[in-house]
Structure formats: structure tokens, C-alpha cells
Amino acid sequence: MTDFDPEKFEDKYVHYFQELQRAYKNAFNQMNERYDSELIHGIDQMVLNESEPFYEDGEFRVELPENPRERLTGVLVDDEKFEETLEVYVETIEEELHRVLGVEKP
């Protein structure tokens, strides 16, 4: 693991691409074990594929594309379950980014 540099994270796909992939994959695996795999695969492929991780004030946050619910097609799920699952998934990614990049939460 490389030492995390917040300034380098601005160009994250050059400096931290492998770590980003690992964090997203770890989060996917955790979510896939606990939730409906069809829903998790759908969120992964149709929503998170266009998400963007950021690092600000000592924390990671994942910005989602506009209208994430409308992006999920072909998966039967009510809006409440979708929103709850997506929220947990994003939190899991953010936790994995902290873990994989070795950045303690403030």
C-alpha cells in the first residue's frame, strides 16, 4: 500500500486506480453476501459505474450520478428498499476507501 496523499487523490485514476478498484470490489463482495444479489449487481452496474469518489476534510464520499433510481432497470424493488440498500452500499464503499487507502476517519 502506498502512503495516501490527498493532493494526489485529485488525480485519483492515475495515482490510486488499483486501490479504488479494490475498495469498490471489497464493498461489492460484502454487499453481495448480505443483500439480494440481483439488486446489488444492478446497483453496481447501473448506478455505481458512474459514481465518483472524493476526499474532503479527512473523509471519503461517493457522489452518485443524477437520478440513481431511474438508472436501475430490470430489477424489481420498491423505492424504499432501493434507497436503503444504496445508502448502505455507498457507506460500505466509503469505509473500504478508508481501509484500503489507510486513512483513519476523523
pLDDT for residue 3: 84
Q: What's residue 84's pLDDT?
A: 97
pLDDT of residue 89: 98
Per-residue pLDDT tens listing for the chain (106 residues)? 458 999 999 999 999 999 999 999 999 999 999 999 999 999 999 999 999 999 999 999 999 999 999 999 999 999 999 999 999 999 999 999 999 999 998 8
Name the residue type at position 39: L
- Using the Cα atoms of residue 11, residue 13, residue 14 and residue 17 in order, give the sign of their dihedral: positive
Q: For the packed helices 37-46 and 79-101, what is the interaxial angle rounded to 10 degrees?
A: 70
- For residue 56, the cross-strand partners are 59
What's the rounded Cα separation, in Å, for the pair 28 and 75?
17
Distance between CA atoms of residues 32 and 88, nearest Å: 12
- CA 61/CA 23 separation, integer angstroms: 13
Is this model's pTM higher than 0.85 or not?
yes
What are residue 61's phi and psi, to 5 degrees?
-140, 150
